[in-house]
Amino acid sequence: MKIKLTLLSSLILVSGLVKAQDSLMIRNIYDEELVNGQCYSNLHYLCKNIGQRISGSENAQKAIEWGKKLMEGYGFDKVFLQPVMVPHWVRGAKEEGAIIKGDQRISVHIAALGMSVATPKNGITAPVIEVQSLKELETLGKDAIQGKIVFFNRPFDPKFIETLYAYGTAGDQRFAGPAAAAKFGAVGVIVRSLTESLDYYPHTGATLYVKDGVNIPAAAISTIEANKLSTMLKMRSLPAVKFYFKQNCQTLPDAPSFNVVAEMKGSENPNKFITVGGHLDSWDLAEGAHDDGTGIVQSVEALRLLKVMGYKPKNSIRAVFFINEENGDRGGEKYAELANDNKEEHIAAIESDLGGFTPRGFTFEGVSPALLKSINTNWGPLLAPYGSGVLAAGGGGSDIGPLKAKSKNVVLIGYLPDSQRYFDVHHTPNDVFENVNKRELELGAASMASLIYLIDTHGLN
């Protein structure tokens, strides 16, 4: 009994020491970041000196070169590029435009959806039919839809506390709406911008055509003007409302591009990996600050933090700037493919692609309730004082998703910032550096570095 007690108290002592070490390490990570953080100035450079960087563009290539140089400057063990072919969609040089033609002509703000085809040179003019869902297309049928522009106008549901769920449930209108409407003979599609915010920004984003379908042009309209159009359609006393829009986008042949990878080599398990990343490409309308410049600069910052703390990881740790998340996911797929080819074992992958807002925590994809409980019990108290205490079941992210198919034991983790402001700027001309808060960005980077440290030190099981 006495021996047992001694053993027990030794264990408690060791466990107490480990906790104190972890706590100290995490405090040091935050101190370094909040005093000497570099992610905010890196983001400034990316947004202001490079700017928009849609896949296949000259700017995307500039961003790749910038990313490689930045990583090399930090002196990690290895920096390399992973070649990958990416879609090359361009909005076109000529201006997009749209007009509601009712009893008066009202110019409205639209933006072609990513991967959409162009309208004919002189645009399309057609009567409009408003629907709230893809299902409603079936109810209405071909007779009602043929020859018309379908206007998807189901708003965000404000009752979701996390706006990501509102995006998730409204998003089918944008990514699947145009292909569905084409089946019923629609000549074009206008989609209400995916945001709860009432403003004049059209929110672009990818739409997916289907194989052997008719590809009809599709654009997003600002929420204020979606409301206006809807109101005019309801005024039956007026002449039938028509909608005109013109866009010049096209899909060019696939272009060569790259993921950019930095690596700190593991001292015990060099072939086991913990990866943290975001996506380097952005939509073409703005600077891609929150989507996903913040994820990029936070990822490399997490590695920088561990390096300047003198931390020697057991496992190899990588920061990955994935290419082509917005309209193809080719970078994420290539990374997983190469990991498989090279027989790299991935323990965990963390993705930051929900904006650089104040941290709330992390979501863990497909982990067992027991593991999630253990993560909460052991690491929750270490992260909660920094506002990152939410460690919940949830998605990882689309760049790291393909790793799962190749490596069943990998734990996919999404960085979870506060979501309230994200869809105010998401995919709009307003996604600019000025809307990122320095401390929020830094706290996120420090939380990622802390989680990587915990996973590397204690494992995930």
Which residues are known catalytic residues?
Answer: 325
Site residues for its own copies per CB under 8 A: 30-31, 34-35, 158-159, 161, 163, 196-197, 358, 360, 385-387, 418, 420-421, 424, 437-440, 443
CA separation for the pair 283, 56 (Å, rounded): 11
Burial profile 428-439: b = 16 or more Cβ within 10 angstroms, e = fewer: bbbbbbebbeee
For the CB of residue 127, give the shortest distance to its own copies in the complex, in Å.
32
152: exposed, middle or buried (C-beta count within 10 Å: 0-12, 13-18, 19+)? buried
Q: What angle do CA 458, 260, 398 make, to 5 degrees?
A: 65
Name the 3-class secondary structure at 354. Answer: coil
**CB closer to its own copies out of 66 and 422:** 422
Q: Which helix (H) or strand (E) holds 295?
A: helix 294-308
248 neighbors 118 (Cβ within 8 angstroms):
yes
279 within 8 A of 399, measured Cβ to Cβ: yes
Contact 146, 251 (CB under 8 A): no
Give the distance, in angstroms, between the CA of residue 2 and the centroid of all CA atoms in the same chain: 56
**Closest CB to its own copies among residues 45, 175:** 45
Bridge partners, 322 (sequence order): 279
How many CA within 13 A on the CB side of residue 270? 5
Q: Which of 312, 439 has the CB closer to its own copies?
A: 439
C-alpha to C-alpha distance for 381 and 441, rounded to whole angstroms:
21
Question: At 262, which helix (H) or strand (E)?
Answer: strand 250-264
CB nearer to its own copies: pick between 159 and 211: 159
Is 64 strand, coil or helix? Answer: helix
Residues facing residue 377 across a β-bridge: none
Distance CA 219, CA 214 (A): 16
Of the candidates 39, 35, 57, the residue with the CA atom closest to the CA atom of residue 47: 39
